[in-house]
Amino acid sequence: MWDLFYYLAGISAVGTVGFGVLYFYDRDTADEISREIGWNAVKAYHKINLEYDNLKRWYDQQNRPRISRSDDEEENDDFEDVKEVEFIGYNSKDDTTYKTTDLEENEYIEGTYFELMFMKTLGEEQLYKRITDKNEVDQNVKIEKIDKPFIQVELCQNEEKTSIHQQLVNFYVEENKLLDKAFLNWYLRTFYSIILNDDYHLSIIDSDINMFKIGKDECITLNPNKKYEVKSSQE
């Protein structure tokens, strides 16, 4: 047992010394190896977590108690499905956000330019539907949640990396356009108190453990079939 321990310790020590020698003579190659090891470690970590979440979800579904419901209770569900929605409009020039649930014939909404607009459901689950036309300002706007497409989104700017994916779960809505510069300006200020720089990029890991980056001229669009697409933010 102890012989095996000393053997493994010896291999680790030799590997560390070897890497130190490589770093001294060829720093670029050593940095590339470090990055590759780091990415693989992150990928393995998220894959294990994903498998654990899937197993836990399956177990919960199998052990969930079944409750019989009367016809009257099912009819009452129609009333529970009616959700109040809120309009959100943002202007980056003066960093102002306008919110209201007064949607019918609202003169301020009609007469004001907004760089960014959302319809948000109020209640236990708050979902944000991004809109581009004020004709979509409606109590009955369609807001369809989709499966979580990303397990990690990281902002890289000023040589710093910040995880920003936690609050994105409320924006995973069908046909949403996300992570373009206009969206990030508002999103980072609102949820993280971060000012977006002109020079930045996002490192993303999707739900299939694929890793990629997008820049300031790109965005993500969501749909129920392909989950997401990377597009030019000008489209």
Domain boundaries, the chain: 2-59, 83-136, 150-232
Sign of torsion over alpha carbons 172, 181, 189, 85: negative
Cβ-Cβ contacts under 8 Å for 88 (sequence gap 6 or more): 97, 98, 99, 117, 118, 119, 120, 128
Written as one letter, the residue type at 219 is C
Written as one letter, the residue type at 158 is N
Of the listed ranges 53-62, 63-72, 185-194, the one predicted with least confidence: 63-72
What pLDDT sits at residue 233?
87
What pLDDT sits at residue 1?
53
Task: Report percent pLDDT > 70 for the chain.
Answer: 65
What pLDDT sits at residue 226?
79
- CB 129, CB 119: distance < 8 Å: yes
Nearest residue to 39 (alpha-carbon basis) of 212, 216, 201: 212
pTM for the full model?
A: 0.69
Task: Report percent pLDDT > 90 for the chain.
Answer: 58
What pLDDT sits at residue 174?
95
Q: What is the pLDDT of residues 113-168, one digit of tens each?
A: 999 999 999 988 999 999 999 999 999 999 999 999 999 999 999 999 999 999 99
User: Is residue 81 very low, low, confident or very high in pLDDT (cuts 50, 70, 90)?
Assistant: low
DSSP element (H, E) containing 152: strand 150-157
Q: What is the pLDDT of residues 176-206, one digit of tens each?
A: 999 999 999 999 999 999 999 999 999 999 9
State both tokens at 103: 């949607």
- CB 207, CB 227: distance < 8 Å: yes
Cβ-Cβ contacts under 8 Å for 98 (sequence gap 6 or more): 87, 88, 89, 90, 108, 109, 112, 114
Q: What is the DSSP letter of 170?
A: G
What pLDDT sits at residue 8?
41
